[in-house]
Amino acid sequence: MRYKYLPYVLLIPMFVMIIVIVFIPLLTTLTYSFQSYQLSDPNADRGFVGLENYISLFQSERFRSSIVTSLIYILGSVGGMLILALITSQLANQSFKGRSLFRASILLPWAVAPVVAAQAWKFMYDADFGIINQVLSGIGLIERNIPWLVSDNLAMLSVVTTNIWKTTPLLTLIVISGLQTISKDLYESADMDGSNAWQKYFHITLPLIKPFIMLGLIFTTLQTINVIDIVYVMTGGGPGEATEIFTLYNYKVFFQYLDFGLGGAMAVIGVIVVGILIAFYVRGMSKNMDA
């Protein structure tokens, strides 16, 4: 009886930290979303406006455009990460000389700070002095320099490519851990049945690593949605609003326009969307594990 409540006492600091870091800011943001709260106008009346901020957002062309841009950015990034991670993890799981060095090199982009990575890629994409245009020109693929970051479609392709390079190592690491849980006996049995490499991959490897893939997609999707460093540094949301993703627009509303009411509403919508995505991934993981 003396130590009956000790585990709960030891958990108190963690619960306090969660309340202070997560729930208080979330409740404050939720409160702002129902108010007219603009720091840019100190004389403005800070009052309850109900759902007015939410209605204004969905009537805003810029807000709807940021949603579409975010979907393109997320789908392009996560799709590219998944394909690259499946290839690199399969290579890293093979036995060959220098495998340790290869695995270490895969993780190098993850160790680079997002701002540093974005700035480095921005220099490489520079229309006049960037190494990408120089290489493409040197091998004869282009006749004149390409303005990567000031063209609508190419700017999105550029930031997506940078995000894939930066975040793929996380997904790769998770997939490798899944590959190492597969028993070699399964492959030996498949060899005895005459299965080729593709059949073994699609009927043994891929089904068994699906839970790991879903887990990795949760982290990489959240990383792609929430981290605005790459887009902010490389394009600032431009040209125009071609790369202005939802979270970057939310940042501008909060910290540039100082509209806490509208920014709070955007943040609440973002939390709901992220919650739906996580629920979707978790449901997919549960189905795979039950199967």
pLDDT digit of tens for each residue in the chain (291 aa)?
567 778 888 888 888 998 888 889 889 999 989 998 888 777 767 788 889 999 999 999 999 999 999 999 999 999 999 999 999 999 888 888 878 888 888 888 988 999 999 999 999 999 888 999 999 998 988 888 999 999 888 999 999 999 999 999 999 999 999 998 888 888 888 888 888 888 888 888 888 898 899 889 888 998 898 889 999 999 999 898 899 999 999 999 998 888 999 999 999 999 898 888 888 877 877 776 655
Could you give the dihedral angle defined by the CA atoms of residues 177, 183, 188 and 194, in that order, rounded to the nearest 10 degrees? -70
* Domain range list for the chain: 76-93+106-290
261 within 8 A of 205, measured Cβ to Cβ: no
- Provide the 8-state DSSP code for 144: S
37 within 8 A of 28, measured Cβ to Cβ: no
Token code pair at residue 280? 């979707």
81 within 8 A of 89, measured Cβ to Cβ: no
53 within 8 A of 265, measured Cβ to Cβ: yes
- Looking at residue 288, what is its pLDDT? 63
CATH superfamily of 76-93+106-290: MetI-like (1.10.3720.10)
Give the span between the Cα atoms of 81 and 93, in whole angstroms: 17
The residues, ordered by sequence, that sit 6+ positions from 25 with a Cβ below 8 Å of its Cβ are none
Q: Give the burial class of 183: count Cβ atoms within 10 A of its Cβ; 0-12 exposed, 13-18 middle, 19 or more buried.
A: exposed
DSSP lists the bridge partners of residue 38 as 259
Token code pair at residue 79? 């799709």
DSSP output for 161-222 = HHHHHHHHHHHHHHHHHHHTTS-HHHHHHHHHTT--HHHHIIIIIHHHHHHHHHHHHHHHHH
Give the span between the Cα atoms of 135 and 130, in whole angstroms: 9
Q: Which amino acid is at 281?
A: Y
- Looking at residue 97, what is its pLDDT? 83
DSSP lists the bridge partners of residue 230 as none
253 within 8 A of 263, measured Cβ to Cβ: yes
- Looking at residue 47, what is its pLDDT? 82
Give the span between the Cα atoms of 59 and 57, in whole angstroms: 5
- Report the 10 Å Cβ neighbour count for 175: 23
Q: Is 48 strand, coil or helix? A: strand
33 within 8 A of 53, measured Cβ to Cβ: yes
